[in-house]
């Protein structure tokens, strides 16, 4: 196993490249990747600069980024860096500060180093497997909330692109079910922050009915190291290729999953 502390130092420096560019550069040209899905010139620039930095610092480690793809990520891959250069691109392009650079090192399908930097909020999260989770270098822990009616729960973005109508029917049903059971529902538009804020106890759970490794790898590690529970929508074990991502305070997970299971089962049955 590689030296996780040394790799964490590399990851922090790499993520700061993205954070610095976000605060000192404009988005540039905004291009469509698909239906209501966009990429800015700065997304691509940040990815290139971080990829080049990591290639110099860790030449033996592969790279996978949201923009332009790259390496593979599965149980056979020894190590691969996984990057979202700007998580929350739409927020960033519109001047909304809920955006972050998210970088993880994944070993055989499991994240072992994670860094999330939200520069406009002055928040820097990091974790290593077995080493705990931190925000601005202070230890963080998920909330102790046990009552769903006292929980703040965030949800992932609604779907765009092909099949969006069917995907959003499920999301609307989940939103309705949560709204009827929790204290408040929130949508932040950046999956890395959904997960980091459960880890920090700002929120009590998040439900994201999608799962892209660049969105989730760093955040799921930070959350787990903060003693949050991360599962798929049906409560089964979570992997980076699971169909969805549910993260909750440890004693709340058993309250969230049944709500999701009921509504999603109804959707599957056409109810």
Residue-wise pLDDT for 178-201, tens only, equals 999 999 999 999 999 999 999 999
Q: Which band of pLDDT confidence, cut at 50, 70 and 90, is reported for residue 31?
A: low
Alpha-carbon torsion 38, 96, 196, 82, what sign? Answer: positive
- State whether 105 and 173 are in the same domain: no
Question: How many independent structural domains does the chain possess?
Answer: 2
Q: Which domain holds residue 180?
A: 148-268
- State whether 135 and 154 are in the same domain: no
Q: Which band of pLDDT confidence, cut at 50, 70 and 90, is reported for residue 264?
A: confident
- State whether 100 and 216 are in the same domain: no
Helix (H) or strand (E) holding 192, with range, is helix 191-200
pLDDT of residue 268: 55
- State whether 115 and 153 are in the same domain: no
- State whether 124 and 152 are in the same domain: no
Average pLDDT over residues 34-43: 65
**Domain containing 152 — which CATH number?**
3.40.190.80
Q: Which band of pLDDT confidence, cut at 50, 70 and 90, is reported for residue 266?
A: low
User: Last residue of some domain: 94, 111, 139?
Assistant: 139
Average pLDDT over residues 146-161: 92
- State whether 22 and 119 are in the same domain: yes
What percent of the chain has pLDDT above 70?
Answer: 89
* Beta strand residue intervals within the chain, DSSP E: 30-34, 37-40, 62-65, 69-70, 80-87, 100-107, 110-118, 123-128, 133-135, 138-139, 152-155, 184-186, 205-208, 228-231, 245-249
Q: Above 80 in pLDDT, residue 75? A: no
Mean pLDDT of the chain: 90
pLDDT of residue 32: 56
Q: Choose between 212 and 264: higher pLDDT.
A: 212
- State whether 25 and 121 are in the same domain: yes
- State whether 12 and 95 are in the same domain: yes
Q: Which band of pLDDT confidence, cut at 50, 70 and 90, is reported for residue 167?
A: confident
User: Last residue of some domain: 105, 139, 173?
Assistant: 139
Residue identified by tokens 């009921």 is: 262
Average pLDDT over residues 16-24: 95
User: Last residue of some domain: 104, 139, 174?
Assistant: 139
* pTM for the model: 0.92
Collapsing DSSP states into helix, strand and coil, what is residue 128? strand
* Structural tokens at position 179: 């709204």
Q: Above 60 in pLDDT, residue 1? A: no
Q: Which band of pLDDT confidence, cut at 50, 70 and 90, is reported for residue 135?
A: very high
Distance in angstroms (rounded) separating the CA atoms of residues 85 and 74: 21
Q: Above 60 in pLDDT, residue 270? A: no
φ, ψ of residue 69 in degrees (nearest 5)? 65, -140
- State whether 258 and 171 are in the same domain: yes
- State whether 222 and 171 are in the same domain: yes
- State whether 196 and 135 are in the same domain: no
Average pLDDT over residues 81-102: 94
Residue 227 region by backbone torsions, left for phi larger than 0, else alpha for psi between -120 and 50, else beta:
left
Q: Above 60 in pLDDT, residue 223? A: yes
pLDDT of residue 36: 47
**Residue 56: CB partners within 8 Å, gap ≥ 6?**
none
- State whether 157 and 32 are in the same domain: no
At 120-133, the pLDDT tens digits run: 999 999 999 999 99
């Amino acid at each position: 196993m590689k030296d996780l502390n040394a790799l964490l130092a590399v990851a922090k420096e790499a993520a700061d490249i993205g954070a610095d560019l976000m605060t000192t550069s404009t988005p540039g040209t905004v291009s469509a990747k698909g239906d209501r899905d966009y990429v800015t010139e700065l997304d691509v620039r940040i990815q290139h600069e971080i990829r080049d930095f990591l290639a110099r610092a860790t030449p033996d480690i592969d790279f996978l980024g949201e923009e332009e793809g790259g390496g593979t990520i599965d149980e056979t891959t020894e190590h691969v860096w996984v990057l979202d250069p700007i998580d929350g691109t739409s927020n960033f392009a519109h001047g909304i500060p809920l955006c972050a650079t998210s970088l993880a090192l994944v070993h055989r399908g499991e994240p072992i180093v994670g860094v999330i930097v939200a520069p406009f909020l002055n928040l820097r999260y990091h974790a290593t497997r077995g080493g705990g989770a931190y925000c601005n270098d202070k230890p963080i822990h998920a909330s102790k909330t046990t009552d769903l009616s006292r929980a703040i729960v965030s949800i992932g973005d609604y779907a765009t692109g092909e099949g969006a109508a069917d995907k959003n029917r499920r999301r609307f049903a989940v939103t309705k079910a949560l709204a009827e059971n929790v204290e408040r529902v929130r949508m932040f538009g950046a999956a890395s922050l959904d997960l980091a804020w459960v880890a920090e106890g700002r929120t009590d759970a998040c439900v994201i009915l999608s799962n892209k490794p660049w969105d989730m790898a760093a955040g799921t590690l930070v959350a787990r190291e903060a003693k949050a529970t991360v599962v798929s929508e049906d409560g089964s074990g979570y992997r980076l290729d699971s169909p969805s991502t549910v993260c909750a305070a440890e004693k709340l997970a058993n309250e969230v999953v049944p709500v999701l299971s009921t509504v999603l089962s109804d959707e599957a049955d056409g109810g």
